[in-house]
């Protein structure tokens, strides 16, 4: 069993915020893979599905971001999950918009949601870091609690689609492959020029 936890703030007021990209990511997974309807448990909304034969629980804490650990920790304890079985999807200021990185453990980079989870279950859970860009030290709060713009949807929607498409790789522990597949989906290789695309040789007789 694997627990996917998306981080965000509950309520319509925050639904489109950059800080809620974790909620958006797990919502995309739920939609794409036909998870069961959500129910209220563990101070959050939780639903269940199967990804590549692996049972997956998806949790959206309803405790507000800064207390995410109360919900995630309670669910992990109930199902007797090790930190390696918990994957947290969250916004990342230190990554450019649309970039994705996956890591296990490490620092918390000032993220209050991650800090709360670490306080309840230690730091060695897995993280899917979803870049939203850094606006500068004095503008972080306004940046994270502001909705994604229409222009930003041009990279956000493909990002969420790719995360959802390759989520089974996370469920089966192939984190590096997941990150690589998402990167390639968002940055497709440019085909090499074919001979038909090349200019004709002016010295050649036809």
The span from the CA of 82 to the CA of 97, in Å, is 31
- Is-catalytic flag, 19? yes
| Neighbour tally for 180: CB within 10 Å | 14
Residues 6+ apart with CB under 8 A from 159: 98, 100, 130, 182, 186
Task: Point out the catalytic residue in the list 19, 33, 90, 111.
Answer: 19
Tokens in use for 24?
Answer: 């958006």
Helix (H) or strand (E) holding 51: strand 44-51
**Cα torsion angle, 17, 183, 176, 48, sign:** positive
Query: Which positions are catalytic?
Result: 19
């Amino acid at each position: 069993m694997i627990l996917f936890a998306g981080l965000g703030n509950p309520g319509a007021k925050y639904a489109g915020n950059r800080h809620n990209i974790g909620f958006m990511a797990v919502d995309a997974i739920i939609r794409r893979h036909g998870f069961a309807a959500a129910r209220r448990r563990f101070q959050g909304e939780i639903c269940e599905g199967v990804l590549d034969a692996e049972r997956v629980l998806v949790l959206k804490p309803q405790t507000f971001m800064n207390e995410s650990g109360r919900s995630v920790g309670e669910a992990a304890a109930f199902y007797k999950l090790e930190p390696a079985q918990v994957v947290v999807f969250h916004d990342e200021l230190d990554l450019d918009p649309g970039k994705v990185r996956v890591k296990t453990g490490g620092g918390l980079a000032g993220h209050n949601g991650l800090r709360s989870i670490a306080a309840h279950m230690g730091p060695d859970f897995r993280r899917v870091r979803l870049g939203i860009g850094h606006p500068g030290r004095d503008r972080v709060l306004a940046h994270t609690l502001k909705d994604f713009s229409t222009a930003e949807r041009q990279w956000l929607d493909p990002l969420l689609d790719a995360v959802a498409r390759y989520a089974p790789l996370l469920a089966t522990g192939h984190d590096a492959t997941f990150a690589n597949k998402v990167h390639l989906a968002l940055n497709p290789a440019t085909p090499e020029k074919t001979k038909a695309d090349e200019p004709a040789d002016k010295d050649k007789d036809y």
